[in-house]
Chain A
Amino acid sequence: MQRAAVKVVPSRRSSRPPAEAKWKVRCLQYGSLLLVLAIWYLAVGPGHASPFILPSPSAVARALPGLLTSSETWAGLKATGYQVAWAFVIAASLGLAVGILGSRSVLSQRAVEPVLLYAFMAPLILLYPIVVLIFGLGDSSKIAFGVINGFFPMALNTLRGFAAVDPRLLRLARSLGATGLREMAVFRFPAARPMVFAGLRNCLALCVVAVIAGEILGSTGGLGYLIARAASTLSTTTLYGYIIVTVALAAILHSLLSRSETFRDGARS
Chain B
Amino acid sequence: MIFEGIVRAGIYNPYFLPAPSAVLKAIVLLAKDGQVRRAFLDVALWSGEAVVASAVVGTLVGCLLGVWPLGYRAYLPVLSTAVSIPKIVFFPIIVLLFGIGANAKVAYGALSAVFYVTLNVAGSARNVDPAFLRAVRAFGGTRVDALRRVVLPSALPGITVGIWVAIKHAVNGVLIAELYVSINGIGADINRFTQQLQADRVYALALTLTVMAVTAAWLWGRVDRKFDAWRRLGDA
Contacts and interface: CB of A to CB of B under 8 A. Distances in A.
* Direct interface between A and B, CB < 8 A: yes
Interface of A: 15-17, 19-20, 24-26, 28-29, 32, 52-53, 118, 120-130, 132-134, 136-137, 201, 204-205, 208-209, 211-213, 216-219, 224, 227-228, 230-231, 236, 239, 242-243, 246-247, 250-251, 253-254
Contacts of A53: 93, 96-97
Given A130-B16, A231-B95, 10 more contacts: A122-B214, A123-B171, A123-B213, A126-B190, A126-B210, A130-B203, A133-B13, A224-B89, A250-B84, A250-B85
B20 interface: no
Interface of B: 1, 3-4, 6-7, 13, 16, 69-71, 73-75, 78, 80-81, 83-93, 95-97, 130-131, 167-168, 171-172, 175-176, 179-180, 190, 194, 199, 202-203, 205-206, 209-210, 213-214, 217-218
B interface SS class: helix
A124 B213 CA distance: 11
Contacts of B3: 129, 132, 137, 217-218
A134 B168 contact: no
B8 to A, nearest CB: 10
B85 A124 contact: no
Given A28-B74, A130-B16, A137-B7, A123 B83 contact: no
B168 A120 contact: yes
Given A121-B213, A123-B172, A129-B194, A243 B88 contact: no
B73 A126 contact: no
B69 A17 contact: yes
B118 to A, nearest CB: 15
Closest 6 CB pairs of A and B: A231-B92, A205-B84, A28-B74, A126-B206, A212-B86, A209-B86
B175 A213 contact: no
A contact face: mostly helix, strand, loop, or mixed: helix
5 contacts: A26-B74, A136-B7, A208-B84, A208-B85, A253-B84
Contacts of B130: 15-16
A8 to B, nearest CB: 20
A56 to B, nearest CB: 15
A211 B172 CA distance: 15
A95 B207 CA distance: 24
B209 to A, nearest CB: 6
A23 to B, nearest CB: 11
Contacts of A129: 3, 190, 194, 202
Contact of A28 (B7, B71, B89): B71
Contacts of A16: 69, 130
A121 B168 contact: yes
A153 B152 CA distance: 27
B128 to A, nearest CB: 9
B213 A247 contact: no
